Amino acid sequence: MDLTYTGDDLAFRDQVRTFLEAELPADLRHKVHHHLRLHKDDYVRWHRILARQGWVAPGWPREYGGPGWTPVQRHIFEEECARAGTPPVLPFGVNMVAPVIMAFGSQAQKDYYLPRILSCEDWWCQGYSEPGAGSDLASLKTTAVRDGDHYVVNGQKTWTTLAQHADMIFCLVRTDPGVRKQEGISFLLIDMHAPGVTVRPIIMLDEDHEVNEVFFDNVRVPVANLVGQENRGWTYAKYLLGHERTGIAAVGRSKRELARLKALALREHKNGLPLLNDPLFAAKVADLEIELMALEMTVLRVLAQADKAPGPEASVLKVRGTEIQQRVSELMVEAAGPLALPFDPAYLEGEREHSIIDDDFAAPLLPHYFNFRKTSIYGGSNEIQRTIISQMILGL
């Protein structure tokens, strides 16, 4: 493919930059650039700013309220948002359940849920992983038993990101225990406020409440909330994960973080010279930048296949993208050295203007490093992705 931006592409990039300079609130920009914690109001505020502009769902077709952008325009937009330091648009509604509803949902589901996703009237979370069914997701045990015009759901989901805020959860449930495990799964949309739904926090190593356990105790879900056909949920789940894994690559964010790494390595010194001048450290940064450039080219190739859903190549993006994200965070901690050690949750939460070590650049780096250990696990662990690559791409 031709990777040279056209005049129209450059004009579009200028349009995006102008919009971001005018509309991105300074406090949100500050939080993102300094790795401070984002709260629900931060995500919702930015989502609705983009929604007013018609840009909150770059991958959606016009018929459902998207901008109808080309793959190159979507790439430019995501790169410029990362460069500017916008909060992410949470993927669970816009990029994960919405494509499934568009492809497999009923007209009533499309008419009801898609506008609410665009407006952020509904906050979505993902009900996939369970205790004992993480990488081996098809072993899930949460059941949905048909009772007239409802399903009765019982079971547990875990590692459910931001479920404490959610209005809806899209869930994989077992509707037929008597067949091969991949064939007895269905895809349900469940109201998080329904009787019998309980959310319990899981506090992470950095003391952040990001993930949760979700319990279902005789939760009644209308049959109308079944997406597609009963017992075909595994097909829809794989379709969704293709979209998730493509987005996990996060090339624009890694480019922004790489620039921050270089700035940090110029600030810190070794033997009287900037750390970036040290041949060994400079080689690590150069190797990382080469890997990131290669990943970006691969993302563009995948996005150019606009006529089909992401396939097994999405696993390549997931593996390389998350490895690069983790490597950037590791090198940042390495560059900051002892300055990254103090743990200051009050500063991370925005309760204090400056960190206790008086180095606002270095203070969030270690919590950020710990948090990003998750990237090679969520969305399907990288070990599983390598199996998919070996079987479906290499034919091994």
CA distance linking residue 227 with residue 106, whole number of Å: 7
Q: Tokens 């984002």: give the residue.
A: 38
Q: What is the DSSP letter of 167?
A: S
244 assigned to active site? yes
- 272, β-bridge pairs: none
Taking Cα atoms as reference points, which of 172, 166, 224, 229 lies closest to residue 198?
166
Burial of 259 (0-12, 13-18, 19+ CB in 10 A): exposed
Amino acid at 273: L
Q: Helix, strand, coil % (nearest 5) of the chain? A: 55, 15, 30
Do the bridges between strand 124-127 and strand 150-157 make them parallel or antiparallel, or are there none, so unpaired? unpaired
Out of 78, 80, 130, 244, pick the active-site residue: 244
Q: Assign 290 to helix, strand or coil.
A: helix
Joined tokens for residue 303: 């996005």
Which residues are paired to 274 by β-bridges?
269
Distance CA 205, CA 160 (A): 16
Residues in the chain: 396
**Two tokens at 24?**
């991105």
CA end-to-end distance (rounded Å), the chain:
28
Active site residues: 244
